[in-house]
Each structure stands twice: as structure tokens, then as C-alpha cells.
Chain A
């Protein structure tokens, strides 16, 4: 059994994870990131269930989390298949690529201005040459007699 203070703290963590997942699934347009957000919500619910289970000294919550894991695995398998099929037909992982399915009265999503792609290009380490560059003309080095 856990004390009530631990229960409330764990419930708080579960609530934060759930709300973060909610914001993610509402805003992000990449299908994969949307599914990751859904999994984040499942994690929040799992923390909540386990906290209640430990608080009440009852195994029901933990058994339920085992089934949540099972259903999440099934969901990921089936959903990723559909994501791959969607990618094969549009070439994009964009949820807005399917906006022709929207209701009649909803506005169309148009990307008016895109932010600049401000990724930092990685600078690879420059390796200083070890030893001395061998002298000699290039024609000699192509001959295979001194290998």
C-alpha cells in the first residue's frame, strides 16, 4: 500500500502525461507522431491505474494495465499497417493529405507560410592527417609493384 501523498503525486504525473498526449494528438500532423501521442495518453492512464491499484491494495488496476499493454500492441500493429498503406498512396505521412474526407462545412487546411527549415547542419569532426603524406608522383602510385 502506498500513502495518500504518493497517490496524489502519481495521479498528477499521470494527468500531465495524459494532457501532453492530448495536445500532441490534437496539433501534430505527422501520423507517426500522432500515434506516439496516443501511446503517451495510454502511459498516463497506466500510471493512474497502477497508483489506484497500489493505494487500494487491489490487483484489478494492475491487471487492467496488462490488458492495456496487450491492446496497445495490437493497436500499434494494425495502425502502422494503415499508416504504411496511407504513405504508399500519398507519399506523405501528413494527416492533412486526407482532408478530402472532412465534413462539408469545415475549412480546408492550407499551409500559407511555412517556417524556414532551421535545422542546424551537423559539423563533423575534422580529422587531422596522421603521419606525413608520402611524396611521389601519382603515376608511380598507380603501379602495383610496390604493394
Chain B
């Protein structure tokens, strides 16, 4: 595939999972020249070594400011231009910032070739964020379950209840106080520790 068909893309991302998701998407879409940079030390030197046409960086990465310096370095061979340089396309700017991805495009790359890449990044970033949220939810559910088990144990011991009775008491209290069962369980644990 000639360089004209496949621009060189650098992904600057400290999250290996997200970078992999993005890289896979780009390759599936036919962008074969993709390099992932994880190491933030000497970032500019690493980028210059690859000499990319497009640099993608997640907005949670403080090294975005390092990239901004590239606009000012006159000795650089190629000067990237800001992604948001085209003020007319505010919808895609907004979408990309909200998804948490920023792109820097080296001057000369045609706009119609950038658009599909950016759209793909936005959708992959959003997919990753969803995945992350699900993971968090599962984690907190697991955490809740542990807390509930512990609170049940305390109730069984202190009040002489069976396991089922302890659970029913927790659940009905949570409903009455309009709280999550995990929160009620946590306050039982806290209270019992204070009374020790």
C-alpha cells in the first residue's frame, strides 16, 4: 500500500488496552501504518523518529502540552498543525473533545482523509469509556457484595438472626431509608467497629 493510501498514524496513549482497541479499528479500516507510543519520556524525539502524518493523543494525557510545543519548534522538519484549525467543523471538534481524543495533523493531509480517521477514533474512544464504566460497575457490585456479607455476619452474631433474616432486615431498612443496601451494610460495619 502506498503512503498516499495509508497515512502514518501515531497513537500516544498510556492505556495499552485503549490503544489496542484503537489500533485494531484503524487496521481494520485499512490504515496499516500505526505506531503506539506509551513512554512519555522524550516524547518529541520519539515522534520525530516515526515522522507521522497524524498524531492521536488522549485528553487525559498531560503530554498534550508537549505536543503543542511542536507548533513552535522551527527546526522541526515537519510541522503538525492543530486539529481544530478548521473552525467550520465545530460538531466534530466537540465530539472528539467529549470523547477524550485529540488529533494533530501534519500539514498537507487532505481533510476528507482525516474525517473517517477521526470518526473512528471518537467511536472507539466512546466504546472504551463504556467498557470502563461497566468494569467499574461490576467492581463496585462485587465490593457491595463483600460489604453485605460482612454486615450480615454482624447482624447474625449480634441479633441471633439466620442469614436470610439478616438479609431481609438489611433490605427492608434500605428500602425504608431510601438508600442502597450496600450503604446500610457499610454503616453497620462502621458502627460495629466504633462499638468494639
Chain B binds chain A: no
